[in-house]
Amino acid sequence: MHIEIKNVNKSFFHKQKGTLKVLDQINVDIEQGQFVSILGPSGCGKTTMLNLIAGLEKEDDGEVLVNGKKINGPGTDRIVVFQESGLFPWLSVIDNVMYGLKIKKMPKKEAEEKALNILKMVHLSRYKDAYPHELSGGMKQRVAIARALVMEPDILLMDEPFAALDEQTRMTLHKELIDIWRKTKLTVIFITHNIREAVKLSQRIVVMGTRPGYIKKEFTVNTMQSGIMTDNVMFDLEQRI
Ligand code: ADP
């Protein structure tokens, strides 16, 4: 899925503060299959940009195109994974994963088979009958990823999905996400304010500046392929950002 954000501006209106400009002339072009991180300080407009791609917000002017067509609301081709898994507490793991398929009216047997395959991918088959409160934070995020993948989206939009997890769990999930991305060849847009995370995961980093949000810098990362992320590489990047 090819995403083009062209000359996009976005403001929000606050009763007290008046008009708050959040995105200022944003231009980003994301090719099919790319793993891109959007990096920037809190409040620079990362989530707003992701919401525009998800079709959850609308730009004031400029355009957001998906495969050359203007976005018209949300769609199952673009699914967001949030920091909070947002699982239904009253549904088991497999029923959470199957939820979207049910809405699409997929026959139960087929949906179950599909959900099980995806649960295998995130190493949670054993927990298919468990309920969200029985799972750790990392497991919940894996269910949230499974629930997104089962819909076979063309693009996975991830809004700081691992920010609330401990370092060890985050590292495991990074590995799993890279595996999934390699297997599915999905386009992934990953929001983070953590440079290390961006460098580790993505092929390309778009750095945003704040007030109002603009694209400060963009660069390609090669560390993932080689698996090397030395302190020197990090130091160099921090200087460049
Ligand atoms: P980030 O994801 O980089 O932290 P956001 O896109 O969430 O940034 O927010 C950017 C700015 O826009 C913030 O100042 C936030 O308060 C404001 N904002 C975001 N969404 C809304 C909204 N729906 N209504 C009003 N203000 C909003």
Atom index in ligand 1 nearest the CA of residue 13 equals 25
Which residue minimizes the CA distance to atom 25 of ligand 1?
12
Give the Å distances, CA to CA, from 188 to 65, 107, 192: 16, 29, 13
Going from the Cα of 12 to the center of ligand 1, the distance in angstroms, rounded, reads 8
Q: Which residues pair with 205 in a beta bridge?
A: 37, 219
Instruction: Tell me if ipTM is over 0.95.
Output: yes
3-state SS, residue 108: helix
- Each residue's pLDDT tens digit, 138-180: 999 999 999 999 999 999 999 999 999 999 999 999 999 999 9
At residue 78 the predicted structure's pLDDT band, cuts being 50, 70 and 90, is: confident
SS3 content of the chain, % helix, strand, coil (to 5): 40, 30, 35
E strand or H helix that includes residue 128: none
pLDDT value, residue 22: 93
Q: What percent of the chain has pLDDT over 90?
A: 65
Going from the Cα of 167 to the center of ligand 1, the distance in angstroms, rounded, reads 26
Q: Which residues line ligand 1 (CB under 6 A)?
A: 12, 22, 40, 42-48
At residue 225 the predicted structure's pLDDT band, cuts being 50, 70 and 90, is: very low
pLDDT value, residue 15: 86
- Within 13 A of 1's CA, how many CA atoms are on the CB side? 27
Residue reference for tokens 């947002």? 86
Strand 204-209 and strand 35-39: pairing?
Answer: parallel
- Each residue's pLDDT tens digit, 90-114: 999 999 999 999 998 999 999 999 9
Atom index in ligand 1 nearest the CA of residue 159 equals 2
